[in-house]
Chain A
C-alpha cells in the first residue's frame, strides 16, 4: 500500500523528467562543454573571458540597464492595474483580467512586428503625424523602442502574480488597519504593499530575466543599432562565428541571472516569490 503510493508520483513525474533531461539538462551540458573548450577540444577560460571585450561588456551593461528600466516600468504600470483588478467583484475582474492576458495568447513575434509597423520611419505613427503636418519622430531603433517592446511583451507576467497575491489579501485585514486609525494611504504602505511582496518578487523575476536575455525584441525594434548581450550570443551562434564563445557568454549571462535571482531572494527570506502566487 505504502509502496504503491510512493511509486505512483515517481511514475507520474516520468514524462517531465524525460523532457527536462532532453531539453534542459543535455543542452546545459553541451553549453558547458562548448563554453569551456576551444576548437581543438582543449580546456580554456578564454570563452568566458570574452565578456571582458569592451563591446561585449557594453552589451551586457546595456542589457542590464534596459532590463532594469523595463522591469521598473512594468512594476509601476502593473501594480495599479492589479490593485484595481483585485478590488473588482469576482465576475468582472475575471473578464478584465482576460483583457490583459489575451495578448499573451497572440504570438510573441507577431505582437512585436506589429509594434515595428507602428514605430517605423514611414510606419503608422509617423504617417499620422505627417498627415497632421506635425514633425516626424525617430521612434524605431532607439533604446526607448526596445524598452517599449519589453514592457509591452512582459507586462502580463508582472500583472498576473501581483493580481494573484493582492486578491488573496484578506479584506478584513485591510479593514483592521483602517479600524486602528490608518488612512487609505497608510493602509496601502503598511499592509497591502508588504503583503504583496511575494507577488512583486515573482513579477520582477518573470520580467527581468527574459528582458535581460532577449534578442528578438532588439532585432525587431532596435534594428541592429541596439546591441544587447542576447544579440551578441545569438550572433555568435547563428552567424556562425563561434559556438564556443557563444556558450562562454551564455554561461556568464546565466551567472548574472542566478546572481540577480539570489539578490531578489535575499529580500524574500521565506522564498514565497519563487512560485507565482505562492503566498504563505
Chain B
C-alpha cells in the first residue's frame, strides 16, 4: 500500500535517516520502534509531507506522493505533542477537516458524534481543549484525525505522555479502534512493550537505519543483531565464537545450538533470554555458578547467577536460594546467534 524507497534525510549535515526502504501492507498495524532520536518522527513527517526527504520517494498505491502538499495526502497524523486548536471547541476541532472539505452540517454533526463515541468521550463536544486532561486531549487528537476517514493513520508516540494505567487502557482502545475502522496504522513508539503488544509488524530503528523488520515474535525470538536483542526485552548478550555449524563457544564453554552458516571459528554475538536460562544441579549444568541475588517478581523469580565471571539473568518459577551453587543449561533452540555489528548503530546501547 505504501512503499518507502531509498529515503535519506539530514539536518545541517547530520544524517538522520539513511537510505530507508520499507513496505507497508494494507490494514497493517506497523510500529516504528527505536530509541529517542533515531529518526522516527522525521520519517513520519516525511510521510505526512511536513519534511522533504533529501533522496528517495514515497509511493502510495503505486502513485508517487513525495511532492504532494500535506493537505493533499490521503493520510492523517496524530502528533506527539498536543496540537489541538485551543481557540475552538472540541467539536469544532474534530469537525475541522470535514468543514474544510465542505461537508454538510448534518453529516459533520453525525461524524463528530460518532468520533467522540469511538474515543469514549461522549458529550465532550462543547468543552474547550484547555479543560481536557492529557489523555483526553490525545483522544480528541485521534478523533480529529479519524473523522476524515484516512486510509492510513500516522500516530507519533500518542501515549507517551500518559501514565501507565491509562496507557495500557489506551493501547487496547487503539487496537479496538483499528479493528473497527479497518485502516492502516503506522505507529511510532520508543516503548518496546507497547510495540510487542500492539503491532502486526515491528520495524526496529536505530541511528536512522532499519535494524530489523518482523512480527513481534520474530523480533523477540530471533533478533538479528546485538542492538535489537538488547533493545527488545531483557537478555544475556555474549561475545562468542562460532566453532562450527551448531556449536558455539561462550565464556570458555561449548554450547550446542541450531544456527548454521556463520562459518568456522568466527566471532559472533549470542543472546539468551532470561526465561531460557535453565538452572539445574551443578552436575547437570554445561557451566556452573553461584546465585548472587533473588528478586520475587510476582509470576517468576529473577535471579542473578555469577558463572564464568558473567552475571547471568535468569527467570524461573522455581527459586534457587541466594549463595547456592547451580548449573546452567540452555536448550540449543534457545541460543540465538547473531553476526557481529559492522556499524555503530547495530551495537548495544551503552547506557542500558
Task: State yes or no: do A and B come from one complex.
Answer: yes
Residues of A within 8 A of B (CB): 170, 172-173, 175-183, 186, 190-191, 194-195, 197, 280
8 Å CB contacts to A: which residues of B61-113?
69-71, 76-77, 79, 81, 83-87, 96-97, 100-101
Give B75 Cβ to nearest chain A Cβ, in Å: 8
Specify which chain A residues have a CB less than 8 angstroms from the CB of B48 in the assembled complex: 175, 179
Specify which chain A residues have a CB less than 8 angstroms from the CB of B96 in the assembled complex: 177, 180, 182, 190
Give A181 Cβ to nearest chain B Cβ, in Å: 5
B23 sits at the interface (CB 8 A): no
CB pair B145 A180 closer than 8 Å: yes
Given contacts A178-B50, A180-B148, A181-B100, 6 further A-B contacts (CB under 8 A): A175-B50, A178-B69, A179-B76, A180-B71, A180-B96, A181-B101
Can you list 15 residue pairs at the A/B interface with Cβ under 8 Å? A172-B83, A173-B85, A175-B48, A175-B70, A176-B85, A178-B50, A179-B71, A180-B96, A180-B97, A180-B144, A180-B148, A181-B100, A183-B71, A191-B85, A195-B87
Give B11 Cβ to nearest chain A Cβ, in Å: 13
Taking CB as reference atom, which chain A residue is nearest B96?
Answer: A180
Specify which chain B residues have a CB less than 8 angstroms from the CB of A180 in the assembled complex: 71, 76, 96-97, 100, 144-145, 148
Specify which chain B residues have a CB less than 8 angstroms from the CB of A178 in the assembled complex: 49-50, 69-71
Specify which chain B residues have a CB less than 8 angstroms from the CB of A186 in the assembled complex: 100
Specify which chain A residues have a CB less than 8 angstroms from the CB of B79 in the assembled complex: 172, 175-176
Taking a contact as CB atoms closer than 8 A, the residue among B50, B87, B130, B148 that contacts A181 in the complex is: B148
Specify which chain A residues have a CB less than 8 angstroms from the CB of B130 in the assembled complex: 280
Taking a contact as CB atoms closer than 8 A, the residue among B49, B81, B144 that contacts A172 in the complex is: B81
Specify which chain B residues have a CB less than 8 angstroms from the CB of A195 in the assembled complex: 86-87
Residues of B within 8 A of A (CB): 48-50, 69-71, 76-77, 79, 81, 83-87, 96-97, 100-101, 130, 144-145, 148
A170 CA to B83 CA, complexed, in Å: 8
Taking a contact as CB atoms closer than 8 A, the residue among B69, B85, B101 that contacts A177 in the complex is: B85
Specify which chain B residues have a CB less than 8 angstroms from the CB of A181 in the assembled complex: 71, 97, 100-101, 148
Number of A-B contacts (CB under 8 A): 59
Specify which chain A residues have a CB less than 8 angstroms from the CB of B84 in the assembled complex: 173
Give A175 Cβ to nearest chain B Cβ, in Å: 5
CB pair B100 A173 closer than 8 Å: no
A176 CA to B82 CA, complexed, in Å: 10
Specify which chain A residues have a CB less than 8 angstroms from the CB of B70 in the assembled complex: 175, 178-179
Give A90 Cβ to nearest chain B Cβ, in Å: 14
Taking CB as reference atom, which chain B residue is nearest A280?
Answer: B86
Taking each of A175, A180, A191, which has the highest tally of chain B beta carbons within 10 Å of its own beta carbon? A180
Taking CB as reference atom, which chain A residue is nearest B51?
Answer: A175
Give B252 Cβ to nearest chain A Cβ, in Å: 54
Specify which chain A residues have a CB less than 8 angstroms from the CB of B69 in the assembled complex: 178, 183
Give A250 Cβ to nearest chain B Cβ, in Å: 38
Give B147 Cβ to nearest chain A Cβ, in Å: 9
Give B18 Cβ to nearest chain A Cβ, in Å: 24
Specify which chain A residues have a CB less than 8 angstroms from the CB of B145 in the assembled complex: 179-180
Give B166 Cβ to nearest chain A Cβ, in Å: 22
Give A219 Cβ to nearest chain B Cβ, in Å: 43
Taking a contact as CB atoms closer than 8 A, the residue among B83, B100, B148 that contacts A175 in the complex is: B83
Closest 4 CB pairs of A and B: A180-B97, A176-B83, A178-B70, A181-B100
A66 CA to B100 CA, complexed, in Å: 38
A183 CA to B72 CA, complexed, in Å: 9
Taking CB as reference atom, which chain B residue is nearest A179?
Answer: B77
